[in-house]
């Protein structure tokens, strides 16, 4: 029979048991402390995830409107096509690849590789497809009874006018974040805040809707109302496109239209541009073909370079030597400081010596004696060297700063470059001389535009901007952007003188290609050699600044033509006609009515009245009242046909041929009237039985014809009006 444990033994056993219980209890306490305190948030989150499901509600990105509330960018529902290979039978791989490839525009091999990832439930095949494509995918999956093809609702940015203002608007990435342009600059306003749906889950992990569901609504992004006017933007883009084609422009053309008093940008463009709905596709066919011929890293590098080039906004991101357009700054500063006046006369011998360096005028033999106003119209470098000398380094650099050249403008676009401008310590006599006529310093076009506008708007440097208002999804104004005056640079009196001088440049100087009948236009041309060009031969940037009405400026245009391969390099020849054409469209659109001189009235076109089926005497009287002559063909008393026809435009004093007998119109052959003076063109057309309608710079001075509305050799009715554009192709060296 076993002995009972002794008292000491029982005591030891109780102590051991107590220790075991104590250790267990302490371990339990420590474990609870770890679970509830140290790891509490982790397990709380896991429990919530098991008990709750969370679904994100995408916020709609805000819309971008022009100033008249025309939609320029908006978000629309799109779908992402996703495969779940783990749910797809291997026998369906080939069918899926061959079926989806043509629908989605994706290589079959790409889809096949996705199908082979058999442990995956999420393989993206194509993002942001539209409803039509999505419906085709659904139909394919349904018709073939295939599982594992899923569509996830998303949103896609849509630009209804494709390449309209592409370098200004910018575009978004696959995550709807702005990447360039206004889309990037105002991304935080446009984005919006995603919403959330929280649903309780039962023990089997199934969502329980209704009373167990909580929704936090998404807040749609705010929208932008721009200062851009769709009509004026179209005018600008159209004329830049014509210039690029006509002059074989190698490094693109750019332009900006601005309200001189408020700083509102009415239009801004760089041409050629690109399609905002396909921003990663290279728009230039030649460049695209060159890239497609490459492989590997070389292809990737070239593609990236080409994409960044086409996305680049020349107006804010390129720096250049402005050439003679900058002379506006020099002569306005000289007038403001009182070191020059309209009464001053100068003498140009064709060059000027500055500290042993010879600086030439574009006119080799010199201009001789000339007044201040004539010197600006002649764009005479020696006179501007003298104006710079009279100002001196300190005053000259003071105006560089005052006009905004030593800092960025702060325009609401990403990627604005800082100009490279000399300070007083860097500027000796030679540097001062070259800077005075627009060389040596490098600035951005937007800096030049804001400075030139300040010179003509009363002297006020205003903040350029592209957005008028930010509004919420209900149309309430979140933020407004009005006129911001930074400072007054010159007096109103000096500014009025600047306007007078610039108007004389167009009427009497080298800017005659900017002339518009009925409007007082002021302007200044510029031509600058690209000294840092990698080309073996010289290349130039031709530019022109124009404003109107010259007696009370409202809008201004700056045009740049970069590296034209044409019959001229000068801004007065290449850029001035572009600025003129934009203003000719924009001014009447803005309600600025023409005021014709008596000479201009005499040359205005007349709309041909309808005199067909009228009695001959009545028809002659009607034409006479319209300022037109009549030529009668036939012996009848009733007008059976007329040339030109009713509604066509003919020059005042033109002739309408009236046919009074049955038969065919007399046909004539159109002659070649290109590269001729006005008198020569008129003589050739008259001899051919045709009439002349003049457009462009007119037929005065040294203008020559550059285009005709009907090609040489065409057969047209006698009396037809041929429209011929004239341009001063000589210009000056700006």
**Residues with a known catalytic role:** 324
**Backbone CA torsion sign across 440, 441, 445, 449:** negative
Task: In whole angstroms, give the CA distance from residue 483 to residue 598.
Answer: 38
Closest CA to 545 of 569, 508, 593, 578: 578
Count the neighbouring beta carbons within 10 Å of the beta carbon of residue 168. 27
Q: Measured between alpha carbons, how far apart are the two ends of the chain, in Å?
A: 129
Residue with token string 């030049």: 448
Closest CA to 439 of 325, 570, 571, 545: 325
Task: In whole angstroms, give the CA distance from residue 171 to residue 159.
Answer: 9
User: Both tokens of residue 506?
Assistant: 């167009």
Which uninterrupted H or E stretch holds 109? helix 108-115
For 54, 105, 128, 437, 490, the CA distances from 495, given in Å and listed in that order, are 64, 59, 53, 19, 7
Cis peptide, bond prior to residue 8, ω within 30 of zero: no
658 Cβ neighbours under 8 A, 6+ residues apart: 611, 616, 619, 620, 630, 631, 632, 633, 639, 641, 642
CB 329 within 8 A of CB 397: no
User: Both tokens of residue 328?
Assistant: 């506006």
Task: In whole angstroms, give the CA distance from residue 341 to residue 289.
Answer: 57
Beta strands in 272-423 (DSSP E): 345-348, 351-354, 357-360, 368-371
Give the side-chain half-sphere CA count within 13 A for 468. Answer: 16
Task: In whole angstroms, give the CA distance from residue 361 to residue 354.
Answer: 13
Give the side-chain half-sphere CA count within 13 A for 541. Answer: 30
714 Cβ neighbours under 8 A, 6+ residues apart: 669, 670
Cα R_g (the chain), whole angstroms: 37
CB 276 within 8 A of CB 171: yes
Closest CA to 374 of 332, 344, 396, 353: 344
For 95, 123, 140, the CA distances from 90, given in Å and listed in that order, are 10, 16, 17
Which uninterrupted H or E stretch holds 266? strand 265-271
CB 399 within 8 A of CB 346: no
Closest CA to 500 of 520, 516, 485: 520
Which uninterrupted H or E stretch holds 299? helix 296-311
């Amino acid at each position: 029979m076993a002995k009972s444990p002794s008292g000491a033994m029982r005591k030891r056993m109780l102590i051991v048991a107590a220790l075991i219980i104590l250790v267990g209890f302490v371990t339990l306490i420590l474990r609870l402390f770890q679970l509830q305190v140290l790891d509490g948030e982790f397990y709380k989150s896991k429990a919530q995830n098991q008990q709750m499901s969370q679904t994100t509600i995408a916020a709609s990105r805000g819309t971008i409107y022009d100033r008249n509330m025309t939609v320029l960018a908006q978000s629309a529902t799109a779908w992402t096509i996703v495969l779940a290979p783990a749910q797809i039978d291997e026998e369906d791989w080939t069918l899926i690849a061959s079926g989806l490839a043509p629908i989605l525009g994706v290589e079959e091999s790409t889809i096949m590789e996705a199908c082979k990832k058999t442990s995956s439930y999420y393989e993206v095949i194509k993002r942001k497809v539209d409803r039509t494509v999505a419906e085709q995918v659904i139909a394919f999956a349904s018709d073939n009874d295939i599982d594992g093809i899923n569509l996830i609702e998303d949103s896609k940015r849509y630009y209804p006018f494709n390449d309209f203002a592409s370098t200004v608007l910018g575009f978004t990435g696959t995550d709807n974040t702005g990447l360039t342009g206004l889309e990037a600059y105002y991304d935080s306003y446009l984005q919006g805040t995603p919403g959330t749906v929280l649903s309780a889950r039962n023990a089997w992990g199934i969502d329980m809707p209704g009373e167990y569901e909580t929704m936090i609504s998404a807040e749609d992004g705010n929208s932008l109302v721009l200062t851009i006017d769709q009509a004026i933007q179209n005018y600008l883009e159209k004329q830049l496109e014509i210039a690029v084609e006509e002059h074989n422009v190698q490094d693109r053309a750019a332009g900006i239209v601005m309200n001189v008093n408020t700083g509102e940008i009415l239009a801004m463009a760089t041409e050629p541009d690109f399609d905002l709905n396909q921003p990663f596709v290279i728009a230039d066919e030649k460049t695209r073909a060159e890239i497609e011929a490459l492989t590997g890293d070389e292809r990737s590098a070239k593609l990236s370079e080409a994409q960044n080039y086409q996305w680049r906004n020349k107006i804010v991101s390129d720096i250049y030597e402005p050439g003679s357009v900058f002379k506006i700054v020099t002569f306005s500063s000289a007038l403001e400081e009182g070191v020059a006046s309209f009464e001053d006369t100068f003498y140009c011998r064709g060059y000027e010596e500055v500290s042993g360096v010879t600086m030439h005028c574009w006119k080799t033999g010199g201009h001789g004696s000339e007044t201040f106003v004539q010197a600006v119209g002649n764009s005479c470098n020696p006179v501007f060297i003298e104006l710079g000398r009279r100002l001196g380094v300190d005053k000259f650099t003071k105006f560089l700063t005052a006009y905004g050249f030593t800092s960025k403008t702060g325009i609401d676009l990403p990627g604005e470059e800082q100009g490279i401008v000399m300070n007083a310590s860097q500027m000796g006599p030679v540097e001062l001389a070259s800077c005075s006529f627009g060389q040596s310093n490098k600035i951005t076009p937007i800096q030049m535009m804001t400075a030139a506008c300040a010179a003509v708007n009363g002297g006020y440097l205003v903040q350029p901007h592209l957005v008028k208002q930010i509004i919420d999804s209900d149309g309430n104004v979140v933020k407004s952007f009005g006129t911001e005056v930074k400072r007054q640079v010159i007096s109103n009196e000096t500014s009025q003188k600047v306007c007078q001088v610039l108007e004389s440049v167009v009427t009497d100087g080298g800017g005659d290609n900017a002339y518009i009948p009925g409007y007082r236009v002021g302007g200044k041309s510029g031509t600058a050699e690209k000294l840092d060009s990698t080309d073996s031969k010289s290349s130039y940037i031709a530019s022109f600044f124009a404003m109107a009405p010259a007696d009370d400026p409202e809008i201004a245009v700056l045009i740049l033509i970069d590296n034209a391969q044409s019959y001229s390099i000068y801004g007065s020849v290449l850029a001035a006609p572009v600025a003129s054409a934009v203003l000719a469209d924009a001014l009447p659109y803005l309600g600025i009515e023409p005021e014709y001189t008596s000479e201009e009235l005499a040359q205005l076109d007349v709309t041909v009245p309808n005199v067909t089926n009228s009695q001959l005497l009545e028809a002659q009287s009607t034409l006479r009242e319209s300022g037109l002559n009549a030529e009668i063909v036939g012996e009848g008393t009733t007008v059976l046909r007329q040339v030109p026809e009713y509604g066509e435009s003919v020059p005042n004093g033109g002739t309408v041929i009236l046919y009074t007998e049955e038969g065919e119109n007399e046909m004539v052959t159109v002659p070649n009237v290109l590269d001729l003076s006005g008198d020569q063109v008129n003589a050739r057309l008259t001899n051919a039985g045709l009439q002349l309608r003049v457009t462009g710079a007119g037929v005065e001075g040294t203008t020559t014809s550059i285009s005709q509305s009907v090609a040489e050799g065409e057969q047209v009715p006698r009396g037809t009006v041929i429209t011929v554009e004239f341009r001063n192709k000589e210009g000056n060296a700006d």
